[in-house]
């Protein structure tokens, strides 16, 4: 845990962010600066900086992120019209908050 990390604070429930999903390992909520009609962030509760910092012990967390994305796409109604799943990795890859998160974006043509 990193006390100053925004996503750690959100995952601990220290902000007024409304969760669309919360499990033992992750939370999901809407991006406050959406780049698509549906733009969710799926965030592991444990602080992991980026994809580069994943270890073998994180395989389960990574699977949880992807399976939750599948479920959220369905509840958001974009599973059939289509969506993107995206990890930005480090600054050159567009990562802005250095706590691993999966973007789910869709809803352009429903």
Residue 36 Cα distances to 24, 31, 74, 75, 106, angstroms: 28, 10, 16, 16, 6
CB of 79 to Zn ion, least distance (A): 29
Residues in the site for Zn ion, rule: CB under 5 A?
2, 5, 7-8, 47, 99
Is residue 88 classed as helix, strand or coil in its secondary structure? coil
Min separation Cβ 45 and Zn ion, Å: 9
Catalytic residue among 33, 35, 99, 101: 101
Note if 103 is an active site residue.
no
Distance CA 20, CA 46 (A): 18
In terms of CB distance, is 36 or 46 closer to Zn ion? 46
Active site residues: 101
């Amino acid at each position: 845990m990193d006390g100053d990390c925004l996503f750690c604070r959100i995952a601990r429930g220290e902000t007024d962010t409304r969760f669309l999903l919360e499990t033992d390992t992750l939370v999901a909520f809407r991006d406050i600066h959406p780049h698509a009609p549906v733009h969710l962030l799926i965030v592991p509760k444990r602080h992991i900086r980026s994809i580069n910092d994943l270890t073998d012990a994180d395989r389960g967390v990574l699977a949880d992120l992807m399976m939750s994305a599948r479920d959220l796409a369905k509840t958001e109604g974009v599973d059939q019209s289509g969506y993107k799943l995206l990890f930005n990795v480090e600054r050159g890859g567009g990562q802005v908050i250095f706590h691993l998160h999966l973007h789910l974006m869709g809803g352009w043509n429903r």
